[in-house]
Amino acid sequence: MYSITTTFVIVHGFSNLVVAEGFKDLFEKKDKNKITKPYFVISSDNYQMMQIHKNLEKIFNSK
């Protein structure tokens, strides 16, 4: 849990960013109408830092 109002669904096991982005693209195409919330790809290290510093807005604003 990130906050009282924000929870993440985490998918582990990707070997690199290219593979993770490929999964995201597949997910977009297959379930495009079912996804109603924003989503993003982030490395484990950056996810850990985001959880510590609670800076999700900064991550979305930098894209």
Phi/psi for 61 (5° steps) reads: -75, -20
Please indicate whether residue 61 or residue 36 has the higher confidence score (pLDDT): 61
d(CA 10, CA 53) in angstroms, rounded, equals 18
13-53, pLDDT tens digit by residue? 888 888 887 877 766 665 555 666 777 778 888 888 888 88
Find the angle CA(34)-CA(48)-CA(18) to the nearest 5 degrees.
Answer: 55
Give me the numbers of helices (H) and strands (E) for the chain, helices first please: 3, 0
Cα distances (angstroms) measured from residue 31 to each of 51, 52, 55: 27, 31, 28
